A = this chain, B = another copy of it.
Amino acid sequence: MNLAELPTPALVLDREKLAANTAAMAERARAEGVCLRPHCKTAKSAEVARLATRGHSGGITVSTLAEARYFAAHGFTDMTYAVCAVPAKVDTAAALVRDGVNLTLLTDDAATAARLGARAAELGVRFDVLIEIDSGEHRTGVAADDPALLDIGRAIADSAALSVAGVLTHAGHSYAARSVAEVKRIAEQERLAVVTAARRLRDAGHDCPVVSAGSTPTAVHAESFEGLSEIRPGVYVFFDLAQLGRQSCSFDDLALSVLATVISHRPEHNRLLIDAGGLALSKDVSANELLADTGYGWVCNAAGRRIGDLHVAAADQEHGFVSGSRVPFDALPIGTRVRVLPNHACMTAAAYDAYAVVEGDQVMATWDRVNGW
């Protein structure tokens, strides 16, 4: 099938760019001597996860238990559920363990760790548990030098159903960095945070085999991975305008786009309308902090070349308002297909249950993805 025959809006994935992105990160991790445990919250696709884990252990990272169930059903058996767990989620997690999945949990609180352990013991399952370290984003996690770190380690070790697997951090504040130099500084801060926390836990008698750091900007730009056992970048499989703005990638690496159709011309407002709006593109506008006139995405022709400075300036539910310094109406008659490069691939992809996988203008496959919780 040709791209031109797809109903719109459609989520289009360029297979060659995906393959290049996944191969480059896998090679970088190998060269640096760390394991790559890709965060599958971006693609939520078994096909993409198979490509991304090639040459590594096959372990992945997930952000929801729905992802864990989906990837387990597709043969993945080594997963880190990288959101702090609560006791009410242990039952679902335990069912996966009983099905043969090595599902590692995350915590940043000693009392919660004890409750997780109590519930796991009641259910007769064991979990490896990572302690989340706050390396500067101030989301979840404890600081590497916080006395609570050792309390959490002790609470895990004291539970017959839990083991201390190590430490994990996510330098989410790298997303706000305004220069590569700043990303490099944050990457080093991220590395030192988990290395320091791991040393403190080891000094207290814990094994702490896993020392895990991860974000796409820091994975791309870090100058040292010393002391890390693994990295967990996610959005690098597709990249997006926000990552382009952060200089994590080049324009030619952008593997994901939304195919849309021109549905109306408003030359008196220098505007045309497409059938991809806030649902098809997401309402994420993060890239605007990093790139000028990004709006809800850059508008390209069907071959993926940007059309002037056209961008989706506003987005109603099913309408994208395309504008730019000069809209070439004659070249874009009603019915024309365009491709929109999204601001934030993780958010945009979540509106779709499948990828149209293309090579050039040929649709080669449909790959499913999992949404929800």
Contact = CB atoms under 8 A, between A and B. Distances in A.
Nearest to A264: B140
Contact of A335 (B9, B87, B318): B87
B351 A350 contact: yes
A280 to B, nearest CB: 7
A364 B350 CA distance: 28
A351 B371 contact: yes
A253 interface: no
A266 to B, nearest CB: 7
A266 B138 contact: yes
A88 interface: yes
B372 A334 contact: no
A234 B319 CA distance: 16
Contacts of A64: 318
A79 to B, nearest CB: 15
A273 B317 contact: no
Chain A interface main SS type: loop
A139 B261 contact: no
Copies of this protein in the complex: 2
Contacts of A335: 86-88, 112, 115
A226 B121 CA distance: 69
A312 to B, nearest CB: 13
Contact of A284 (B89, B266, B283, B373): B283
Given A172-B316, A278-B284, A279-B347, A373 B7 contact: yes
A41 interface: yes
B334 A278 contact: no
B41 A84 contact: no
Nearest to A266: B138
A303 B284 CA distance: 30
A109 B371 contact: no
A97 interface: no
Contacts of A282: 282-283
B273 A84 contact: yes
Interface string A132-162: 0000001111000000000000000000000
Contacts of A307: none
A122 to B, nearest CB: 16
A92 interface: yes
Given A140-B266, A317-B346, A353-B372, 13 more contacts: A63-B318, A83-B318, A85-B263, A86-B263, A109-B264, A109-B334, A138-B266, A139-B273, A140-B273, A279-B350, A283-B283, A283-B285, A350-B351
4 shortest interchain CB distances as A-B pairs? A283-B283, A140-B264, A283-B284, A84-B263
22 contacts: A7-B65, A7-B88, A63-B318, A86-B262, A86-B263, A86-B334, A87-B335, A108-B264, A109-B264, A111-B334, A138-B271, A141-B264, A278-B347, A279-B350, A280-B373, A282-B282, A283-B284, A283-B285, A283-B347, A317-B346, A351-B372, A353-B371
